[in-house]
Amino acid sequence: GDPGEIGYDDGANNAAFLASEISMTANVNTIYLPAKETNPELADAMNHALPPQGPGGRFGYGQLPWWGILNHTTGAELDAATAYMQAFLSMKNFGAFYKAGQGYILPLLPNYADEPIWPDDPKLAIARDMFQIALPAGYALPNQTKLAALIQDKVLIGKLFSQACSTGDARGALDTVLKDIEDLELLA
């Protein structure tokens, strides 16, 4: 099959979907919004849904924004950076950021539930429901770890799924990803 069928990044999934080579992906609005412009018929046929419920419940992925001030920032630069972060991350300004993204990034704070940040497009209304079940990577860990962040950053769960599907060897795919995790432990 086409490599895009088992691609585990947005670029491969988006291209395969927009070319009508696959019919389902777990991506956010990065397929739908371009399709509205370039292929309205495809966009009209699309729908968005919550992920299926498993034995542990129904969960979605929520991305934590990482914007911070580096430790070496001092003096006037620190004051300016602090003021900028306070202004940008205020409910009003960060809410406008979320609104502009049309559900691409979901807030993880419950105070956003009633804010006017949600997509107006009915096909993206699912973002509001997804917000209710969104959890950050590693949420169940007693403490977030560098290893958990590296596993997420390297998209190892996607790699595991992709390799298992493309080779038919789930054990081999798991062994490969476990070796990747061992290598990452050296960095963590």
151 found inside a domain = yes
Q: Looking at the predicted structure, is the pLDDT value of residue 33 above 80?
A: yes
55 found inside a domain = no
Q: Looking at the predicted structure, is the pLDDT value of residue 137 above 80?
A: no
pLDDT band at residue 93, thresholds of 50, 70 and 90? Answer: very high
pLDDT confidence of residue 7: 57
User: Span 164-178, mean pLDDT?
Assistant: 94
150 found inside a domain = yes
Last residue of a domain, one of 118, 136, 154: 136
pLDDT confidence of residue 4: 54
* 130 and 68 part of one domain: yes
Q: Which residue has the higher pLDDT, 169 or 68?
A: 169
* Cα–Cα distance measured from residue 93 to residue 155, given in angstroms and rounded to the nearest whole number: 30
Number of domains in the chain: 3
Smallest CA-to-CA distance from 118 within 133, 106, 136 is with 106
* 76 and 114 part of one domain: yes
* 64 and 125 part of one domain: yes
User: Span 27-49, mean pLDDT?
Assistant: 91
* 72 and 105 part of one domain: yes
* 148 and 126 part of one domain: no
3-state secondary structure the chain: CCHHHHCCCHHHHHHHHHCCCCCCCCCCCCCHHHHHHHCHHHHHHCCCCCCCCECCECCEECCCCCCCCCCCCCHHHHHHHHHHHHHHCCHHHHHHHHHHHCCCCCCCCHHHCCCCCCCCCHHHCHHHHHHHHEECCCCCCCCCCHHHHHHHHCCHHHHHHHHHHHHCCHHHHHHHHHHHHHHHHHHC
Q: Looking at the predicted structure, is the pLDDT value of residue 1 above 70?
A: no
pLDDT confidence of residue 9: 59
Query: Contact, 27 vs 14, CB < 8 A?
Result: yes
42 found inside a domain = yes
* 118 and 101 part of one domain: yes
Q: Tell me the one-letter amino acid at 165.
A: C
54 found inside a domain = no
Boundaries of domain holding 122? 60-136
Q: Looking at the predicted structure, is the pLDDT value of residue 3 above 60?
A: no
Last residue of a domain, one of 96, 118, 136: 136
* 130 and 90 part of one domain: yes
Dihedral sign of CA atoms 174, 136, 28, 188 in order: negative
145 found inside a domain = yes
User: Span 160-184, mean pLDDT?
Assistant: 94
Q: Looking at the predicted structure, is the pLDDT value of residue 165 above 60?
A: yes
53 found inside a domain = no
* 177 and 154 part of one domain: yes
128 found inside a domain = yes
* 146 and 126 part of one domain: no
* 95 and 40 part of one domain: no
* 38 and 66 part of one domain: no
- Prediction pTM value: 0.72
Other CB atoms within 10 Å distance of the CB of residue 102: 18
* 103 and 41 part of one domain: no
Q: Which residues contact 41 (CB under 8 A, 6 or more apart)?
A: none
The region of weakest confidence among 43-47, 104-108, 143-147 is: 143-147
